[in-house]
Structures are given as C-alpha cells and as structure tokens.
C-alpha cells in the first residue's frame, strides 16, 4: 500500500521496494514494487509460503541482505529517515537500539561457548552506557520480563542448557534490551511445539503493550496471524497480493492465494481426514513473469482472460487492497471441482 500524505501514526513507510540478487553475473529480481507501512504500536503480519519474499522484504529494513542482495528501487522511511541509502555505520546505530530482530533459530544467534549472561550483558552495553554490574542487573530483569524463572541463577547457564522455548525467550530479551521502536520477528515459533508457540506469541503481545513497540511478524502460519496480528500483508512470488485488517482477511478473503491459504489450515471439523493443499510451488525467481498475475499458473479453475495484465495492488474497499481482478471470478468450490476433474 502506498501512502501519499505524512501520517504521524506510521513508524515505517516502505514504498515501491524492489530487491534483486546477483547470480552468475545476472541480477534476478526477487521482490517487485512492494509498498506497505508499519504503524506505531501495531503487530503487522507478513505471510506466505517459503520463497514468497517475506523475509527478504522485511530484513531489507535493517539492511541485512546477503552480499549478493541489493535494493534496486524504492524507499524505506523510518521516522522520517531514508534507510535505503544509509551507511553501515549509520545502520549499526539503529540496529538493536531502535530496530531489533528475533531470528527463527536462536541456536544460530546465540554463541554456544558463552553464557547467557555474557551475551546479554554484551548486547546491553553495546547500546547503553552501563557498568558491567548495572548491565547484569538489567539482564536479569529482562529475563524475568520474558518469563524465565530463577533468572539470577539461569543467566549463568549456556545456551545448550536451555530448552528451545527458553532460548527464544533469551533472544526476545536481547531484542527488547534497548526498548526498540520496532521488533522484527522472523518465524519466531517455527521450531517450537504448539504449547510453547502460544506462550511466545502471548509474550510478544504483552511486550507490545509493556514497552510500547511495533512488531512485524513474518510467518507462513495463518493461525499465528489470526491470533496475534492487527493487520496482514499476504505475499506471493515477491509481491503483496492482498492487505487488510486481520479480521477482514479471515472474514472476507478476496485474492485466490489468500483463500487457498486459509482453506489449507487444518481443521478438526473436516470428516475426510484429508488436508487441503495448494498444488504446485512458488516459481523460481528467474521464471516469474510479472507482466501477468503471478498466481495464474497455480489456479486450475480460472481462464487466462480472468486475469489482468500487469496487475497492481488497489483498494477495493476501505483499507482492503487486492492485486488482480481475478478474485472476482474465483471460488474455492470451483477450484476443488477443477482439481477433481483431472
């Protein structure tokens, strides 16, 4: 979604963002003309299958793209500052201080040879002027804040002595150490069991209120989106195909891809015991034809003329945006019939 006026409630405004990766001396565009904003105090969900471009899009806010990645076009405006042209030195002042990130697997982010205390204290003192003693006291309070009991004892343990859920809590403690304005959580519950997932999501929701922060939650799990997010952007093949408030998305999904994602959520009410799946896969970057609806090849029930050429994201009802008019011709029942006719 593109905004034309300055809105004081908007923390981050991403406009017409395109991202490419250089592979074999060719620049392959992975994200195309993406626009969205992050409002102060909200939890924004960005969802889609693996390969949809959601992580690449959001990590570009922190300029953490891999060496062969590059922002090709567009702008990322944070509190009036253009981030896309900031130097690495300038970005280091923002990362961890004003914008923090929680990664999917805490074991890849926590150093196994140092205690939790060493790592938390280092993170705190990197951004705040504190003595070591003060930083240790704050680290213990942070662990208590994220629900780790006996924090004064457990802070002296090593990462491998913590469970997966506790390690993720440590990563959240690091992320909130400087009371950031924005937390980016990249699939923070993927490797956790269902009970622990709920605990982590409840924790993020509570922290949003306690430290008055905005959260971007990257996930492929629409159940997670439904339970925690205020607004959601659905991505496919490097494009946002639908955006709306989360209640509206689940009450009135429009884009075929959104409908199929919601239809594929496992439900205990189904009697046949079969899962609804979206056939096919997200196309490889080099095979994406952006002159047409990118989901067309995975929908059996629609004809070529049902799709637009060069479809754009447009507002079809207040604060509800959809790419391509193919949603007017699509229904899950027709798609199921077309699949069964094969």
Task: Give 58-112 pLDDT, tens digit per residue.
Answer: 999 999 999 999 999 999 999 999 999 999 999 999 998 999 999 887 778 899 9
Span of 22-31, 182-191, 238-247 with lowest mean pLDDT = 182-191
Q: Are residues 196 and 152 in the same domain?
A: no
Q: Does residue 88 belong to any structural domain of this protein?
A: yes
Domain assignment of residue 58, yes or no: yes
Q: Are residues 223 and 302 in the same domain?
A: yes
Read off the pLDDT of each residue in 133-156 and give the average, rounded to a whole number: 96
**In a shared domain, residues 25 and 143:** no
Indicate if 141 and 194 belong to the same structural domain: no
Residue 211 belongs to a domain:
yes
pTM score:
0.91
**Residue 96 to residue 177: CA distance in whole angstroms:** 8
Mean pLDDT of 35-49: 95
Check residue 5 and give its pLDDT.
Answer: 44
Res. 3: pLDDT tops 60 = no
Residues 204, 236 contacting (CB under 8 angstroms): no
| 46: β partners | 218, 233
pLDDT band at residue 55 under the 50/70/90 scheme: very high
Residue 293 · residue 307 · CB < 8 Å: yes
Confidence category of residue 2, pLDDT binned at 50, 70, 90 = very low
Q: Is residue 93 part of a domain?
A: yes
Q: Are residues 66 and 77 in the same domain?
A: yes
Q: Over 50: is that where the pLDDT of 241 sits?
A: yes
Q: What is the CATH number of the domain that holds 70?
A: 3.40.50.300
Asked whether residue 17 is domain-assigned, the answer is yes
> What percent of the chain lies above the pLDDT cut of 70?
94
Q: How high is the pLDDT of residue 238?
A: 95
User: What is the number of structural domains in the chain?
Assistant: 2
pLDDT confidence band for 200 (50 / 70 / 90): very high
pLDDT for residue 192: 82
For 265-285, write each residue's pLDDT tens digit.
876 555 555 677 788 888 889
Does residue 23 sit within a domain? yes
Indicate whether 85 and 150 sit together in one domain.
no
Beta bridge partners of 17: 34
Task: Report how far residue 51's alpha carbon sits from residue 47's, in angstroms, rounded to the nearest whole number.
Answer: 11
Residues 6+ apart with CB under 8 A from 8: none
H or E element in which residue 116 lies: helix 116-127
Q: What DSSP assignment string belongs to 155-171? A: TTS-GGGS-HHHHHHHH
Domain boundary at 177, 192, 212, which? 177
pLDDT at 213: 95
Per-residue pLDDT at 269: 54
Domain extent for 171: 109-177
């Amino acid at each position: 979604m593109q905004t034309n006026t300055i809105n004081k409630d908007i923390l981050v405004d991403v406009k017409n963002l395109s991202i490419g990766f250089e592979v074999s001396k060719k620049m392959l565009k992975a994200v195309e003309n993406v626009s969205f904003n992050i409002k102060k105090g909200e939890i924004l969900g960005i969802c889609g299958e693996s390969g949809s471009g959601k992580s690449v899009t959001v990590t570009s806010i922190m300029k953490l793209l891999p060496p062969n990645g590059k922002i090709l076009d567009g702008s990322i405006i944070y509190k009036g500052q253009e981030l896309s042209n900031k130097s690495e030195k300038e970005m280091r002042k923002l990362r961890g201080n004003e914008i923090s990130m929680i990664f999917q697997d805490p074991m890849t982010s926590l150093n196994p040879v140092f205690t939790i205390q060493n790592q938390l204290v280092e993170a705190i003192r990197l951004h705040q002027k504190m003595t070591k003693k003060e930083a240790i006291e704050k680290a213990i309070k942070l662990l208590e804040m994220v629900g780790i009991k006996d924090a004064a004892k457990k802070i002296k343990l090593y990462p491998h002595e913590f469970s997966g859920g506790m390690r993720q809590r440590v990563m959240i403690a690091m992320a909130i150490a400087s009371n950031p304005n924005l937390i980016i959580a990249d699939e923070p519950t993927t490797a956790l069991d269902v009970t622990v997932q709920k605990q982590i999501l409840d924790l993020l929701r509570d922290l949003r209120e306690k430290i008055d922060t905005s959260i971007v939650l990257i996930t492929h799990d629409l159940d997670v989106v439904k339970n925690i997010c205020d607004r959601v952007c659905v991505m496919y093949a490097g494009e946002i195909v639908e955006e709306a408030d989360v209640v509206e998305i689940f009450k009135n999904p429009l884009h075929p891809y959104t409908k199929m994602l919601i239809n594929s959520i496992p439900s205990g009410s189904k009697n046949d015991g079969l899962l609804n799946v979206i056939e096919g896969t997200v196309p490889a970057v080099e095979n994406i034809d952006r002159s047409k609806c990118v989901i067309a090849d995975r929908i059996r029930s629609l004809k070529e003329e049902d799709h637009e050429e060069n479809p754009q994201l447009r507002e079809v009802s207040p604060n509800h945006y959809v790419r391509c008019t193919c949603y007017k011709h699509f229904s899950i029942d027709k798609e199921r019939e077309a699949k069964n006719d094969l």
